[in-house]
Structure 1
Amino acid sequence: MAADTSKPFFPAAPNPALLPSGRKPSRLSPEASYWRSFRASELTPANEFNVTHLAFSPSSAPTLAASLSTSVLLFAGDDALLAYWDVPSETPVFAAPAAHRDYIRAGAASPADHNIFATGSYDRIVKLWDARMGKTSTLSFSHGELVESVLFLPSGGLLATAGGNVVRIWDVIGGGRLLHSVESHVKTVMALALAKMTNTGETRLLSAGSDGYVKSFDYGELKLTHSMRYPKELLSLACSPCGTVLVAGSSKGTIYMGRRKKKSTGEDEEEGKGVGGELDWAPTKPEKRRLAPSNYRYFLRGQNAKAKEGDLVIEKPKKVKVAEHDKLLRKFRHKDALVSALARNNPRSIVAVMEELVSRRKLVRCIENLDTEELVLLLLFLHRNATLPRYARFLMGVANKVLEMRADDIRSDENLRGCVRNLKRMAAEEIQIQHTLQGIQGMISPMLALASR
């Protein structure tokens, strides 16, 4: 029966579910899209210095200001002195000489009442002050770590503190009750800031750490919403009152400034698609591609790196070259080790190998197993070095043992007999020298005895 050629060989249609689908770009959350909509810019000074504080002016002018209010001024420092000044009258309201037991590194005024403010110190204590109450704090509680930053939330009833890798939120109206702790950083949290989201009108608590990350925290729902990475350690953070500019200061003097992009209609789906998926408002300098362990260059990392000032340079230990006879001794090939040492003709190495064989009780066995050529090497070595004062006592014993054990082989071989004659002549010359030296010593000894009287 002839085959029906009108039908295809595979009559079944392919299942669309089994076909490979094209890769679709992952959808970003609204929170991630918002923070990725900041344009990149970087301010790098000529000299490196720590940018420890950043603040925005409440007015529309793009200037930076460090004061929290136009009518009062709060300042503190490493001397633990806390002072509260009335700016219009230029008079101090009060001063507390020992407000804390250690450096005061953080302070914030309440947005609800300018007479209420908080301070944080390296003594791990956070204190709440009321200018109307005088030098005594109204509330104090322990953060548990060195306090680097304190910040009142917009309502004035909640206070955020940062220290170590922890950010804590406290209810100051409820007597300093701990509401929540966030441990999202791997290094010390250095700064806190409030940022207003222009698209939703919500406010986020931002934290900057020395690990180079900025974390966005929704304190209303008590959850972390976004993370942003910087190439350097961060010491300060600020966001403009209008919420369109975000600034971060690093430990190397670099200031990272991100300005929110103005997007047109229809850009919602394309928003947040940066090059390589990185933050659009991060530094413009492209990052190097991360090498995978499957790449050969992964194992060559750091070989051309140069040491910077302050780095500890550890010299690479020199590789010790192991001699051939040492390798053979490790393999317990005793005879081969002795022959290898004799071939190099180094008296120090040969004697060391012989002494090692004596300690292993293998020297006699090695001498028995030497063939004629190897025995010639041993006799030549004894002829040249047996009379050296450093090795004479040991090598004379070895020579006697060789002549005693290999007497039959020496009689049957002309080369061995010649080596033994040379060894005998060397021994006779050494004995003659010793007799001469003893005669000279006998003549000098009486003269020295008379001279010493």
Structure 2
Amino acid sequence: MAEQPSKLFPVKPKLKSKPRTTNQTSESKYWSSFKTHQIPGLISVRSLSFSPTTGHPFAVVHSARLSIYSSETLSSISTISSFSDAVTGASFRSDGRLIAACEISGRIQVFDRNTRGPLRQLKSHTRPVYYVQFPLLDKLHLISGGDDALVKYWDVAGQTPISELRGHKDYVRCGDSSPINTDIFVTGSYDHTVKLWDMRVADRKSVMEVHHGKPVEDVIFLPSGGLIATAGGNSVKLWDLLGGGKLLSSMESHNMTVKSICVGKIGRDSGEESNQSRILSVGLDGYMKAFDYANMRVTHSQRFPAPLVSVAFSPDCSTRVIGSSNGIVFAGKRKTKEKEKEESSSTLFWRVAPVKQPRREVLKPSYYRYFQRGQGEKPSEGDYVVMRPKKVKLAEHDKLLKKFRHKEALVSVLGGKNPENVVAVMEELVARRKLMTCITNLDVGELELLIMFVQKYCTMPRYASLLFKVAKRVIEMRAEDIRASVSLRSHIRNLKRSVEEELQIQRSLLEIQGIISPLLTSAVRR
């Protein structure tokens, strides 16, 4: 009875590691559609902020300068360099005409965006100021927080602080104003707390406090105004202000400190805002994460080649900018359908109208030509398509295996450079119970090829289980030939050396594991 092959041709290795396949969701496709453009040449990008007005230019704070970039072209519009010290933060006014910036020296300056001239200088902080912001829809006041642990509410026109808010016990590095009330804002500090302030309260004390558990790097209001998100350590936490500061969720997907967070919305292609908002977070581990706080899960993760320190998202959902510690801004631009229509309509006048093709007659089953359409005809909806099976082109070793010429198949594949094909042929021969017979019938030159292959690939994890067994059988069955050949003895010595080196590596790894395991166990218990 003729011997049957154990599998279909061409043969494929069982031990081949399967590639990792990820089903990309529609939301991942959305965030991936922001094509990254690098803006290099900056020094330590500390802060990013978008203008709320149409066009949405964004300000980049770096070194002792403040640069304004176009969100359309991602090119520099203007640069403000009227600073005596490093700039730490910036904020646009609601009409986009003024921009406030704070410095390490503790001074806050207000500039006209068009003329770049300083209009006001606010001096009251005695330590560096890292947070400054115009409240939403408020053109007359500013909020600032500094390393003197003070939060100040300023009268911009009079250049004087209206209120000096005390309560924090360490550096105040971040804050945000409420999207629904200009009198309410929050500030975050390195004392691990976030405080809620209401300027309508007479005693000027914080009306609520939440404890993040780590130095707070950033805090933002979510669009509803009743929730806030805080970032510190490797976690982003969500708090319910209307529920008395209740902790709703804690996202700990970053491996290192989270430096900045902002709110991003899912798409606005048709001109109307989407109700789906996400918390975008960046950290020193180089990752940007999108967090769906409605379903409490991370929906997208993207890696950048540098530690990230700031992130901002444009109000029209078309531009995303991320600042890194090495001075590169990763700006992502996404075209919306509305802009594509505008571009096509603006260039329509200059285009030559295409020649209209004559309308083809629709073929019906009652026509003779319906059954003589040929292979080039595309099937219409509802047609039953019978596909001709594609002819598989077999390699030389597959042809030999198909003819049951086992030794020739093994020798032919050993002469190639693809280890996966060699392993696949060996597995096929094992299934047919012919591998040992082939090894016995190999001459000295062919046996040398086999031993060289085993010596080269036996330490690879995906091939080791099979090749170590093959090596053992070869040494047992062909011991006399190995002793009689100088070249074979040399290859066996190389094989022994490779195995000893691999064993030494495994012992070292076990020693390292023994050292690390107690440390991890004690860290978890704490």
What is the TM-score normalised by the length of structure 2? 0.44
Show the counterpart of 1:257. 331
1:268-318 alpha-carbon deviations (Å, 9 max, x no partner): xxxxxxxxxxxxxxxxxxxxxxxxx969xxxxxxxxxxxxxxxxxxxxxxx
Q: Give the letter for the 1:31 counterpart.
A: E
> Could you list the per-position Cα deviations for residues 77-136 of structure 1 after superposition, in whole angstroms to 9, with x for gaps in the alignment?
11112111244665533112x431110011110111111100110111111000111421
1:40 lines up with 2:114 in the alignment: no
Normalized per residue, the structure richer in strand is: 2
Q: Match for residue 197 of structure 1?
A: 266
2:226 is aligned with 1:232: no
In structure 1, C-alpha distance between the alignment counterparts of 2:319 and 2:190, rounded to whole Å: 31
What SS does the corresponding residue of 1:53 show, helix, strand or coil? strand
Cα distance between partner residues in 2 of 1:117 and 1:133:
13
CA RMSD of aligned residues (A): 3.3
Q: Structure 2: 5+ residue runs without aligned partners? A: 14-18, 60-90, 92-132, 269-273, 342-458, 462-526
Distance 1:55 1:181, change over 3 A: same
Cα distance change on mapping 1:30 and 1:91 into 2, 3 Å: same
The one of 110, 114, 127 aligned to 2:195 = 127
Q: What SS does the corresponding residue of 2:201 show, helix, strand or coil?
A: coil
For 2:237, the aligned partner's letter is R
Note the alpha carbon deviations across 1:10-69, whole angstroms, 9 max, x for none: 999x999x999xx99854111111111011211111x6x221211111112342251443
Structure 2 SS opposite 1:54: strand
Distance change >3 Å, CA 25–CA 178, structure 1 → 2: closer
* SS in structure 2 of the partner of residue 41 of structure 1: strand
Shift of 1:215: 0.6
- Return closer, same or farther for 1:201/1:137 CA change in 2, 3 Å cut-off: closer
- For 2:22 and 2:148, locate their aligned partners in 1 and report how far apart those are by CA, in whole Å: 53
Within-5 A mapping of 1:335-414: none
Letter in 2 for 1:52: R
Separation in structure 2 between the aligned mates of residue 243 and residue 29 of structure 1, nearest angstrom = 19
Distance (whole Å) between structure 2 residues aligned to residue 157 and residue 28 of structure 1: 32
Percent pairwise identity: 43
8 Å CA contact 2:56–2:315 kept in 1: the answer is no
- From 49, 52, 57, the counterpart of 1:55: 49
C-alpha contact (below 8 Å) 1:84/1:93 kept by paired residues: yes
Please give the alpha-carbon distance, in whole angstroms, between the structure 2 residues aligned to 1:173 and 1:262: 36
Contact 2:216 2:230 in 1 (8 A): yes
SS of residue matched to 2:181: coil
Whether the 8 Å contact between 2:318 and 2:336 is mirrored in structure 1 is no
Alignment of 1:73 with 2:142, yes or no, is yes
Question: Which residue type is aligned with residue 152 of structure 2?
Answer: A
Match of 2:234 in 1: 165
Q: Is the 8 A contact 1:93 1:131 kept in 2?
A: no
SS at match of 2:57: coil
Given the alignment, which residue of 27, 30, 36 partners 1:31?
27
1:321-376 per-residue CA deviation (whole Å, 9 max, x = no partner) reads xxxxxxxxxxxxxxxxxxxxxxxxxxxxxxxxxxxxxxxxxxxxxxxxxxxxxxxx
- Give the alignment of 1:79-98 within 5 angstroms: 79-87=148-156, 92-96=161-165, 98=166
In 2, are the aligned partners of 1:238 and 1:246 still within 8 Å (CA)?
yes
- CA–CA separation in structure 2 for the residues paired with 1:112 and 1:10: 80
Amino acid at match of 2:193: I
TM value normalised by structure 1: 0.51
Distance 1:262 1:138, change over 3 A: closer
Aligned mates of 1:169, 1:143 — CA distance in 2: 10
| Secondary structure of the corresponding residue to residue 30 of structure 2 | helix
Closer, same or farther: CA 89–262 of 1 in aligned 2, 3 Å:
same
The match for 1:217 is 291
Alignment of 1:278-357 (within 5 A): none
Shift of 1:221: 1.0
Q: 1:10 to 1:262 in 2, by over 3 A?
A: farther
In 2 relative to 1, CA 232–11 (structure 1 residues): closer, same or farther, beyond 3 Å? closer
Check the 8 A contact 2:254/2:285 in 1, yes or no. yes
* Higher Rg: 1
Gaps of 5+ in 1: 1-8, 266-292, 296-453
Q: Deviations over 1:216-255 (max 9, x none)?
A: 0001111111101111111100000011111011111111
2:222 maps to which of 145, 148, 153: 153
The aligned counterpart of 2:448 is none
